[in-house]
Amino acid sequence: HENLSLQSQPTAGEQNYGAAVAHARQGPSVSVSRNDSAKRKYLVAAVLCYGNLIIFMDWFIVPGILLDIQKYFQLSDGDTGLLQTVFILCYMLAAPIFGYLGDRYNRKIILGAGIFFWSGVTLASSFISELYYWIFFVSRGLVGIGTASYSTIAPTIIADLFEEGKRTTMLSVFYIFIPVGSGLGYVLAAGMAEVTGDWHWAFRVTPCMGGLALVLLILLVPHRTQRRTAAHRALSISGTIRVAAEKPGTQRNAKTTWCQDVIALAKNWSFVWSSLGLTAMAFVTGALGMWVPLFLYRAQVVQSIVSPCLQESCNSSNSIIFGGITIGTGILGVVSGAEVARRLRKINNKVDPLICATSMFISSLCLYIALMMAQTSILSTFIFIAFGELFLSVNWAVVTDILLYVVTPGRQSTAIALQILVSHLLGDAGSPYLIGAISNAIQARNADSFQWNFWSMQYSFIVCAFVGVFGGGFFLMTSFYIEEDRKEAER
């Protein structure tokens, strides 16, 4: 058991991240100090959200101009899908390393180094010749490594900044920037390609934004950060809130090894099943994010809505529309999911995984209908894709909140890193390539025509609908263990 001592004054680390401390003596100076501390917390959270925005903009630049890149490097569907797979593989393999470092070393330095690295590599990749396509593949892998440092560590800082009530809200805001950044990535890529007539310029905007994020990180985020543990929870004593602070040297992460953390997480069934549910989500979103604009283009060619692209710069309208849908449904989905969870949690302790399961089932149905409508009605396809993305987005903040309350704070960076590893290894690391490979196999068995180019993609996409159903089942399994694991984490 941890040794605890009550104190009425915050430690230096708690001042950094505004741990919940209320002094017995109330006065103007205390009120001003609290206001400054609260403003500082929200300012730091805003910087982290901005970084998350850029990360996912950069992530989805390639799908936004996929047709141009495919033509420029003369890639098949399978090779094109492999482009995103290389990115995800490097991202997920680097995540556990950064999870280990984030639980033990200065997180600000790790975040800053990651931003600098991926920004530089993204900028350099815009100058690669068509003769060296393999260098372009390598560059996307390196960007994935830099991205992993941010996605692994930033949510744990958000968790340290705020108490449980506000934590869900702030995590929702943080994760809103996943779909917003993803959608803006499509819009940025398509817009720059259309304005300049050269898709390479799409890779020269986010590095500049990354430079600004690095400056803000250096100036505004405290150098030393305090990891909130169970011992820092607020205790109400006669109307006065005090902090139960650990004595020096009693932090949990100083007592356990990485292997011990992994073994403990493997025995946490809520973490295991919710991670598998997230894996199904990642599989579906990875495939959709990579292939939907190209799929819609092929559907339009079959319907004679657009002519086949024979020029270097192709029509970008599908990427722009899909990007707008991703932004709108992402914001609405994340906000509504978090709000519904917050309200229903008061009457049902299992509501979080049940919300995730329901959303996955509905999303799978919508995506299946969208695929079946694609050859006859592009408008209906867009509408059902929008609903499919909406219900997928409902789960982002809820799944992360599940992890944060069923895993002890000293293992949270490691848990997030392992969740990233598993969800991407079995999810979106393989789904873009798998969809492309199935499409290639179907095309090889049939005549080379625009009709079969469309059908091959349509048939391969059906896999996503079935995977989504499995994801709903995994979240249902989570609901059987969620109450027990949450109590264990609190103990």
**397 burial level (CB within 10 Å; 0-12, 13-18, 19+):** buried
CB atoms within 10 A of CB 130: 11
More confident residue, 291 or 252: 291
Task: Give the pLDDT confidence score for residue 18 in this predicted structure.
Answer: 37
pLDDT above 70 as % of the chain = 84
Q: Which tokens sit at 406?
A: 């069923």
Task: Give the pLDDT confidence score for residue 253 in this predicted structure.
Answer: 42
Q: Give me the torsion for CA of 328, 330, 335, 340, rounded to 10°.
A: 110
Any alpha helices (H) in 105-163, and if so which ranges?
107-125, 133-161
Residues with Cβ within 8 Å of 112's Cβ and at least 6 positions away in sequence, in order, are: 214, 217, 218
pTM greater than 0.85 (yes/no): no
Count, residues in the chain: 491
Please name the helix (run of DSSP H) or strand (run of DSSP E) that holds residue 207, with its range, or none.
helix 206-220
- The pLDDT tens digits of the residues spanning 88-112 come to 888 878 877 887 787 777 788 888 8
- The pLDDT tens digits of the residues spanning 14-61 come to 334 333 333 444 455 545 556 667 788 888 888 899 999 998 898 888
Sequence letter at residue 88: I
pLDDT bin (cut points 50, 70, 90) of residue 199 is: confident
Domains of the chain, start order: 37-236 (1.20.1250.20), 258-490 (1.20.1250.20)
Contact 322, 159 (CB under 8 A): no
Please give the average per-residue pLDDT across 129-138, as a whole number. Answer: 85
Contact 176, 331 (CB under 8 A): yes
Q: Give me the torsion for CA of 64, 169, 472, 149, rounded to 10°.
A: 50
- The pLDDT tens digits of the residues spanning 354-379 come to 999 999 999 999 999 999 999 889 99
